[in-house]
Structure 1
Amino acid sequence: MSEIKRPNESLIVNTDQVMINDLNNYNTLFGGVLMKKLDNNATLSARRHSRVKECVTASTDSIDFLYPITQSDSVCVESFVSYTGSKSMEIFCKVIAEDMISGERRMAATAFLTFVALDEDKKPIKVPEISPETEEEKFLYESGKERAETRRIRRKHSKELTKMIQLEKPWEKGDVDYDDYVSGIK
């Protein structure tokens, strides 16, 4: 019989302040800084759920930036396992920005990442199933199968695409003069 866990058993909550070096030229949080925070949180949720040393990011479905995050905000990232396959875990992440002056809280971003748990030989292993409890968890779980199918189709397309993509550098193809390529003529 396989082990079944509740999503809140994999819950990771991490809150940080926004530092000036985290800001882009619009004085909002760099998307890449937030992506790193999401991946770090999601990794811990995956490891907490599967109780293994290593979990690897298999995909990032989407990161929907809903509201800009500024230096006066704190950034709270919450993540938990929202759906599982036999060897993969979908991690839902939500980002709550809180204005530290006014106390106003807003949903700044959401994301879905998929992880695979690995054994000592770096081979994928079976992960526990989940049993959602809250309305939020149930909604995410019930729509998880559709997202998993979308990921499967997207991955198949990506594999087909890699067969068509050339690996040569443009200046190594022989039909482009490097000096023209660099200067933007061709």
Structure 2
Amino acid sequence: MKTVKKHVQDSEVIKTEMVLPNDTNTLNNLMGGKLMHWMDVVAAISAQRHSNSIVVTASVDNISFKNPIALGNVVTLKAQVTRAFSTSMEVFIEVVAEDIPANSKYATHKAFFTFVAVDDKGRPVKVPPLEPTTKREKELYAGALRRRQLRLILANRMDPQDATELKSLFDLEGVSQKQ
């Protein structure tokens, strides 16, 4: 069977929500947990679109909380697969808040989630490769291997000595030889 590469736009998911009183904390801002739930849902749909499979969340890299999202704001979450490995996929999520009466939009959050494609018994299954096409897609794709190696090291699932992509960033011996 021939493996068909998929493109980033095939996995793109955009979700829009309005921040209602029940979604807020005592400062009338969107609760972080509610936003993380929305992020997990859009990222999972993106991974499912790429893999055509059931997916489970394997890890969440740090979520950058840049700006709060106020009661009444409209929140747009955009998710897309940045790279596919053997059975796992990295998904990048960007969040933008919009204050419609003030006619303003601003970036609020970014994160990388990792999902594993599984069969109906929960066993990992292979996923199609991803073929990035734009400059930004290629940059996210290239960085995904470094982020994956870092995740695996932090989870004690990879020896730091085996993290070739990360080691190349800190190759002090090669830097001193070039000078």
2:98, 2:104 within 8 Å by CA — same for their partners in 1?
Answer: yes
Q: Equivalent residue for 2:146?
A: 146
Secondary structure of 1:80's aligned partner: strand
1:41, 1:77 within 8 Å by CA — same for their partners in 2?
Answer: yes
Q: Equivalent residue for 1:81?
A: 81
Distance in 1, matches of 2:86 and 2:50, equals: 13
Verify: 1:72 aligned to 2:72, yes or no: yes
- Identity over aligned pairs, percent: 38
Q: Equivalent residue for 2:25?
A: 24
Runs of 4+ with >3 A deviation: none
Map 1:21-100 onto structure 2 (within 5 A).
21-52=22-53, 54-100=54-100
2:96, 2:106 within 8 Å by CA — same for their partners in 1?
Answer: yes
Secondary structure of 2:102's aligned partner: coil
Kindly provide the amino acid, as one letter, of the partner of residue 30 in structure 2.
Answer: L
Q: Equivalent residue for 2:5?
A: 4
1:72, 1:101 within 8 Å by CA — same for their partners in 2?
Answer: no
Kindly provide the amino acid, as one letter, of the partner of residue 66 in structure 2.
Answer: L
Cα deviations by residue, 1:107-151 (Å, 9 ceiling, x for unpaired): 110011000000132210111111112232122111111000001
2:20, 2:72 within 8 Å by CA — same for their partners in 1?
Answer: no
TM-score normalised per structure 1 = 0.81
| 127-136 or 6-15: bigger deviation | 127-136
Q: Equivalent residue for 2:16?
A: 15
Question: C-alpha displacement at 1:83, in angstroms?
Answer: 1.2
Question: C-alpha displacement at 1:71, in angstroms?
Answer: 1.3
Secondary structure of 1:4's aligned partner: coil
The alignment yields a C-alpha RMSD, in angstroms, of 1.2
**Gaps spanning 5+ residues in structure 2: where?**
158-179
Kindly provide the amino acid, as one letter, of the partner of residue 32 in structure 1.
Answer: G
